[in-house]
């Protein structure tokens, strides 16, 4: 089936007289007839539910929908995108291990890796996503456990060469993890290009309505942990906290990664998505394919309009032919990029701030990937401690405006931006 259809129907098939919507199972606890019945769940001999800190049926139905959309074998919902990135890496790397990551990733993920996970004893080597083959090769170490990148980086809008990084990861016997938040499985399916694990901040396009923070991890089921058993003992040797179950033996390649992340990491960290939020996420998913088409169109039209405007000094959008990622975007994102465009307003910091004040439709917000257009001027808000020189080094010059085009009419959005630019007085 088409992804448009799967957005509605995957993950849950109601039987005769069942609710049409994925129901909210708002229960922390699940009851059993005998101790033996419940004991089988604790030994992972049978699948089922006992406590919502680890697993909940609403979450699992919504996760199954996302797994189908990505073309994966198993998935789990997490309380946030940050929790998804953390669990995806921590499931296969611990103290003394090492990860290769693209430098062009979400700032929150960079901080999680570079500060917090470093404190846990995991080392990271960050490589430019457009580095030479020699530089990429030199980043790997004998204790490397995974490679990490972002399909379309937030906010740099660089397009990640998934195939190239997957080949490099596999040559070293480790999986490629891709954060597919900005592309969504409607625009790009990283598994089709060799990625092994996909993560999402479902807070963005998947929810799409500013309603619920959440995350998701999807396994392609293709990475052969057993073929590199010495690197992944957590998956390929007995887990003493679960009566000696060996995840790869019991659950196969398609189930080992997510079962371990659920049974060990969710059990111990409890960063699960609330079933209420999973229900809201599913509402967003039902219209994801339709909304992404409009986000893609609005992003493209806005970028083209801005590129021709005299008060705009530069535009960054991989759908413009002069963008360095144009060709790569055509390969990985043939149906559209996303709704996020960044550009420079003439008049620098003051010009950008005046433009923002003049907007009537765009909300000033740190958020992106929402049904409503949101606009951010990092230099005066998220990055305001930095000097103009530091901002240039960080890739967010003082004149930069990040605009996340919503699903309003493109004509209205462009008319609003046009009047806001025309009214800018500083040059």
Ligand X SMILES: *Cc1c(COP(=O)(O)O)cnc(C)c1O
What is the torsional sign of CA 183, 185, 187, 189?
A: positive
Least Å distance, CB 369 to ligand X, is: 7
* Residue 155 preceded by cis peptide, ω within 30: yes
Q: Does 184 bind ligand X (CB under 6 A)?
A: no
Strands 340-345, 363-364: pairing is unpaired
Task: Yes or no: say if 159 and 188 are a contact pair by the CB < 8 Å rule.
Answer: no
Whichever of 181 and 187 has its CB closer to ligand X, that residue is: 181
Q: Quick one: which segment of 20-28, 176-184, 247-255, 349-357 binds ligand X (CB under 6 A)? A: 176-184
Nearest to 20 by CA among 12, 28, 31: 12
Is residue 82 within the footprint of ligand X (CB under 6 A)?
yes
371: left (phi over 0), alpha (psi -120 to 50) or beta: alpha
Provide the 10 A C-beta neighbour count for residue 390: 11
Determine, following the binding rule CB under 6 A, whether residue 154 of this chain makes contact with ligand X: yes
Q: Which of 11, 57, 72, 81 binds ligand X (CB under 6 A)?
A: 81
**Closer residue to ligand X in complex, CB, 70/150:** 150
CB atoms within 10 A of CB 269: 16
Q: Which of 94, 108, 233, 395 binds ligand X (CB under 6 A)?
A: 108
Which among 235, 191, 259 has a CA at the least distance from the CA of 43?
A: 259
Rounded Cα distance, 109 and 154, in Å: 10
Of 60 and 150, CB closest to ligand X: 150
Cβ proximity to ligand X, 259 vs 404, nearer residue: 404
Comparison of 154 and 298: residue with beta carbon closer to ligand X: 154
The alpha-carbon radius of gyration of the chain (Å, integer) is 22
- Which residue has its beta carbon closest to ligand X? 81
Question: Which member of 52, 59, 102, 109 binds ligand X (CB under 6 A)?
Answer: 109
Is 203 a residue that touches ligand X (CB under 6 A)? Answer: yes
Smallest separation (angstroms) from ligand X to the CB of 234: 24
Report the alpha-carbon distance of residue 158 to residue 161 in Å, rounded: 10
Options 165-173, 199-207, 275-283, 287-295: segment touching ligand X (CB under 6 A): 199-207
Q: Which is nearer to ligand X, 247 or 332 (CB)?
A: 332
Is 204 one of the binding residues for ligand X (CB under 6 A)? yes
SS3 150: strand
Is residue 215 at the binding interface for ligand X, with CB under 6 A as the rule? yes
Residue 151 within binding range of ligand X, rule CB under 6 A = no
21 to 17, 77, 205, 280, 284: CA distances (angstroms):
12, 18, 20, 11, 12
Give yes or no for residue 395 binding ligand X (CB under 6 A). no
Applying CB under 6 A, among 12, 86, 90, 106 the residue interacting with ligand X is 106
H or E element, residue 236: helix 233-236
- Closest of 117, 134, 135 to residue 126, by C-alpha: 135
Of residues 102 and 181, the one with the C-beta less far from ligand X: 181
Q: Does 190 bind ligand X (CB under 6 A)?
A: no
Pick the closer one to ligand X by CB: 71 or 108. Answer: 108
> Structure tokens of 199?
């993560």
Residue 104 near ligand X by CB under 6 A? no
Nearest alpha-carbon partner for 155 in 199, 108, 187: 108
Which residues inside 111-150 make contact with ligand X, applying CB under 6 A?
150
Binding site residues, ligand X, CB under 6 A:
80-82, 106, 108-109, 150, 154, 179, 181-182, 201, 203-204, 213, 215
């Amino acid at each position: 089936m088409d992804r448009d259809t799967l957005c509605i129907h995957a993950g849950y098939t109601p039987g005769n007289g069942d609710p049409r919507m994925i129901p909210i199972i708002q229960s922390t606890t699940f009851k059993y007839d005998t101790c033996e019945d419940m004991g089988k769940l604790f030994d992972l001999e049978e699948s089922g539910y006992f406590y919502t800190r680890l697993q909940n049926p609403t979450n699992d139905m919504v996760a199954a929908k996302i797994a189908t959309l990505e073309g994966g074998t198993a998935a789990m919902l997490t309380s946030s995108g940050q929790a998804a990135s953390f669990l995806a890496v921590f499931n296969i790397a611990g103290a003394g291990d090492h990860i290769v990551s693209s430098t062009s990733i979400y700032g929150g993920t960079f901080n999680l890796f570079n500060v917090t996970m470093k404190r846990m004893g995991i080392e990271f080597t960050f490589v430019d996503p457009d580095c030479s083959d020699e530089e990429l090769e030199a980043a790997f170490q004998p204790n490397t456990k995974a490679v990490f990148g972002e399909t379309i980086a937030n906010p740099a809008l660089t397009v990640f060469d998934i195939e190239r990084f997957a080949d490099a990861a596999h040559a070293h016997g480790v999986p490629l993890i891709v954060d597919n938040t900005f592309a969504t499985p409607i625009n790009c399916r990283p598994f089709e290009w060799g990625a092994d694990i996909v993560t999402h901040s479902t807070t963005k396009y998947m929810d799409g309505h500013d309603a619920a923070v959440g995350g998701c991890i999807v396994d392609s089921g293709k990475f052969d942990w057993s073929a590199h058993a010495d690197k992944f003992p957590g998956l390929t040797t007995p887990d003493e906290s679960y009566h000696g179950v060996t995840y790869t033996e019991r659950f196969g390649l398609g189930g080992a990664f997510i079962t371990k992340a659920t049974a060990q990491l969710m059990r111990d960290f409890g960063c699960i998505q609330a079933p209420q939020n999973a229900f809201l996420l599913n509402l967003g998913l039902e219209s994801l394919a339709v909304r992404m088409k409009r986000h893609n169109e609005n992003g493209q039209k806005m970028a083209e309009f801005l590129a021709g405007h005299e008060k705009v000094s530069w535009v960054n959008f991989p759908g413009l032919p002069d963008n360095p990622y144009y060709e790569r975007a055509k390969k990985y994102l043939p149906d559209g990029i996303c709704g996020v465009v960044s550009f420079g307003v003439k008049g620098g910091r003051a010009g950008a701030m005046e433009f923002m004040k003049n907007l009537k439709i765009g909300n000033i917000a740190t958020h992106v990937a929402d049904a409503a257009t949101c606009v951010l001027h990092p230099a005066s808000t998220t990055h305001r401690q930095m000097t103009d020189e530091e901002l240039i080094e960080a890739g967010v010059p003082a004149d930069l405006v990040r605009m996340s085009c919503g699903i309003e009419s493109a004509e209205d959005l462009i008319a609003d931006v046009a009047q806001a630019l025309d009214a800018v007085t500083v040059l």
